[in-house]
Amino acid sequence: MDLRRKRAYDTADPSDGFRVLVDRLWPRGVSKERAAIDLWAKDTAPTPELRHDWHAAPDSEWGVYADRYRAQLAGESGPALRELTDALRQHPIVTLVYAAHDPEHNHAVVLEEALRALL
C-alpha cells in the first residue's frame, strides 16, 4: 500500500486514492466537496486535551507530544486505529488528510508511523 499525507487545504486529486481525514475537527473553510474525503477517522486524532496542550505550547519539544500521542494510539484510540487499519487494507493508495500548517510536526506524521507498523 502506498500511504501518503496531504494538507486539507491542498487540492484533492484522483491520484490521492482513498482520502482519510485524520483530524478531530473539520478543517475551517473547506467544503465537503472540495475536501473529497472518503472516511473521517476522528477517533484516531489526538484527544482535545492533547491537542490543547500542543497548541498552548507549540515551542515545546515535539518528541514529548509525539510520545503522548503514540501512547494514546496504543491505549484509548487503539480500537479506532485497528478499525482504520482494516479499512485501509482495501485500498492501494491512501492519503491521510490533516489541517496543520507544519508538514513534519503534526499528528498525521505519528499516525502514519503507527499505521505503517500495523500494515
Residue 45 near residue 99, CB atoms below 8 Å: no
- The pLDDT tens digits for 45-82 are 999 999 888 877 666 688 888 999 999 999 988 899 99
**Beta partners for residue 4, in sequence order:** 95
Asked if residue 85 has pLDDT above 70, the reply is yes
Domain ranges of the chain: 2-118
Q: Does the predicted model carry a pTM greater than 0.95?
A: no
Residue 56 CB neighbour total at 10 angstroms: 8
